[in-house]
Amino acid sequence: MNRPPLDYLIDYLRFPSISTQSNHKPDMEACATWLVDLFREMGLEAKIHKTKGHPIVLAKSAKKAGKPTLLIYGHYDVQPPEPLAEWTTPPFEPTLRDGKLYARGAGDNKGPTLAHILGTKKILEEGELPVNIIYLIEGEEEIGSPNLEGFIRDHREELACDIIAISDTIMPANDWPTLTYGLRGVAAMELTVRGPERDLHSGIFGGAVANPATAAGRLIASLHDEKGHVQIEGFYEDIRPLEKWEHEAFANRPSTDTDFLELTGSPILWGEDGFSTFERVGARPTAEINGISGGYQGEGTKTVLPREAIVKITFRLVPDQTPEKILRLAEAHFRKHCPPGVTLEIEHGHGGMAYFSDPTTRYGVAAKRALKTAFGKEPALIREGGSIPILHQFHDILKTDILLMALAAPDVQAHSPNESFPVKNLESGIRLHQEFLKELAAC
Ligand code: BES
Ligand code: MN
């Protein structure tokens, strides 16, 4: 039965495949099964691979000798939809408004991945695939891909390919074809600051014991100077300087600070002194507080001295920083700056190195040609701030380059309420996939 692409996307978006919340385990499995069914319907050999976490979906076309092999990676997991009250329509009831489909995961990453899948489907309906194709769709990207590296190692022969393509990045402006040649890495850390053994009356005890929330505030404040430079000793030590052609690419980026500011809803753009906005995001490492908690959060006031405070932090990394070293330096920094009267527990979280690729290889050139034909415009060459932690392992284990071709624009509201994906991007994605396969076959 031939259904329009949009119908498939609506079905795909109905699964609340939230990887970080354990109560959604059955939804993860259902979503993976839906993908396998779709791949089989298309005539690919498809299988669910169980992991210690969420399943991995692997699908393959029948391998033909003499054709290059393309691996397409994507993720079917999504970020939590909270805060729910800010959604115009419910996050897992996909709704079409003004040419965009609204749902959690629409832009990141179900829409873009599905564009590739439906592109393959279309080619198969009309004839034969010009390349061998492998789809690897995982369910743990949004939690740092904890089980994917092992899977890639164990299946390295089955996953052997000439090139990897991913559409899980962002174009600088809508309909602007984009090859992303660099992404930042990431390293996560959580601080727990503890004081008294229980919450105390802040009048009876306040002033006589240290307040963990105040101590957490001091730790947070110690991270940056007033010009936005990270104060962790050695933090900037390993950074690879920008190459000459990159300065040009940054200068030619097809979007302005004004466009970017508008996307944020912030009063002004602000960041590390001495760098442009897009350098700050694409080529500089950062330290970001993702969450602070501790003490009374309810309505009204409560005079309490909290027993603990928690700070969630992620660092974004650039080549050649490693998550291990950055977390080690950060831990030393926090231990040194921890004020007296509290204890500090530091937990190291997930990490992944930055990715940087050469856009001038023959595959890079093939991608640029396909992007140009599909969108009718010269593609932008950019570095971005987001992370896909597994890229580095893909490259190391499979010895393959990765092409990042964006299909979502910055206004898709990834990770935010009212995430969406324009129907027309689904169509341009299908077109891009067809063009890309042709170019690859000619490579
Ligand atoms: N699609 C994003 C990564 C991305 C966003 C790349 C914007 C380029 C531009 C991906 O799904 C994502 O959000 N990754 C997480 C990884 C983290 C949870 C380990 C991220 O970057 O926060
Ligand atoms: Mn994504």
Question: What is the SS3 assignment for 351?
Answer: strand
Say which residues have a Cβ less than 8 Å from residue 40's Cβ, sequence separation at least 6.
Answer: 46
Catalytic residues: 77, 141
Does this model's pTM top 0.85?
yes
CA of 142 to the centre of ligand 2 (A): 7
**Rounded to the nearest 10 degrees, what angle do helices 423-442 and 111-126 cross at?**
60
Pocket test for ligand 1, best of 17, 19, 79, 141 (most atoms within 8 A of CB): 141
Amino acid, single-letter form, for residue 285? P
From ligand 1's centre to the CA of 386, what distance in Å? Answer: 5
Read off the pLDDT of residues 261-310 as tens digits, 9 standing for 90 and up: 999 999 999 999 999 999 999 999 999 999 999 999 999 999 999 999 99
Q: What is the mean pLDDT of residues 133-148?
A: 96
**Residue 309 Cα to ligand 1 middle (Å):** 27
Banded pLDDT at 241 (limits 50, 70, 90): very high
The DSSP symbol for 23 reads G
CB neighbour burial string for 346-379, b if at least 16 within 10 angstroms, e if fewer: beebbbbbbbbbebeeebbebbbbbbebbbeeeb
User: Angle at Cα 86 formed by Cα 82 and Cα 174, nearest 5°?
Assistant: 95
| Residue 1 confidence (pLDDT) above 70 | no
| Residue 92 contacts residue 82 (beta carbons within 8 Å) | no
- In terms of Cβ atoms closer than 10 Å to its own Cβ (0-12, 13-18, 19+), residue 88 is exposed
Ligand nearest to the CA of 415: 1
CA 9 to chain centroid: 20
Query: For residue 180, which atom of ligand 1 is closest to its CA?
Result: 8
Rounded percentage of the chain residues whose pLDDT exceeds 70? 100
Lowest mean pLDDT among 49-63, 248-262, 295-309, 404-418: 248-262
Give the helix ranges, DSSP H, for 43-91.
Answer: none
- Of 38, 81, 73, the C-alpha closest to 56 is 73
Q: Residue 393: pLDDT band by 50, 70, 90 thresholds?
A: very high
Alpha-helical runs (H) found in 18-87: 25-42
Tell the residue nearest (CA) to atom 20 of ligand 1. 387
For ligand 1, mutation pick of 388, 402, 415 (most atoms within 8 Å of CB): 388
How many angstroms separate the CA atoms of 443 and 334, rounded? Answer: 51
Checking if the pLDDT of 217 tops 70, the result is: yes
Instruction: State the angle between helix axes of 111-126 and 5-13 in degrees (0 to 180), rounded to the nearest 10.
Output: 140
Q: Which atom from ligand 1 is nearest to the alpha carbon of 415? A: 13
Digit-coded pLDDT (tens) for 154-203: 999 999 999 999 999 999 999 999 999 999 999 999 999 999 999 999 99
As given in the structure block, the two tokens for residue 34 are: 């839906």
Q: Which of 436, 300, 284 is nearest to 372 (CA)?
A: 436
Cα–Cα dist 191/334, whole Å: 9
DSSP3 helix / strand / coil % (the chain, rounded to 5): 35, 25, 40
CA of 145 to the centre of ligand 2 (A): 11
- Ligand nearest to the CA of residue 19, numbered in listed order: 1
Tokens 């947070």 found at: 220
Rounded to an integer, the average pLDDT of 59-83 is 97
| Residue 415 φ/ψ, nearest 5 degrees | 70, -5
172 alpha carbon – ligand 2 mean position (Å): 16
- What is the pLDDT at residue 2? 76
Give the pLDDT confidence of 18-29 residue by residue, as tens digits.
Answer: 999 999 999 999
| Secondary structure of residue 396 in the 3-state scheme | helix
pLDDT in tens, 374-392: 999 999 999 999 999 899 9
Give the helix/strand (H/E) hosting 288: strand 286-293
Q: What is the distance between the alpha carbons of residues 239 and 73, in angstroms, rounded to a whole number?
A: 28
Distance in angstroms between the alpha carbons of the first and the last residue of the chain: 34
Which ligand 1 atom sits closest to the C-alpha of 350? 19
Ligand 1, atom 18, lies closest to the CA of 142
Q: Are 415 and 385 in contact (CB under 8 A)?
A: no
Share of residues in the chain with pLDDT > 90 (%): 97
pLDDT at 387: 95
Q: In 199-234, which positions are buried (b, 16+ CB within 10 angstroms) versus exposed (e)? A: bbebeeeeeeeebbbbbbbebbebbeeeeeebebee
The per-residue pLDDT for range 74-120, each reduced to its tens digit, is 999 999 999 999 999 999 999 999 999 999 999 999 999 999 999 99
The string of pLDDT tens digits covering residues 313-333 is 999 999 999 999 999 999 999
In the structure, which protein residues have their CB atom closer than 6 angstroms to any atom of ligand 1? Answer: 108-109, 141-142, 144, 168-170, 183, 186, 350, 384, 386-389
Measured between alpha carbons, how far is 380 from 363 in angstroms, rounded to an integer?
Answer: 16
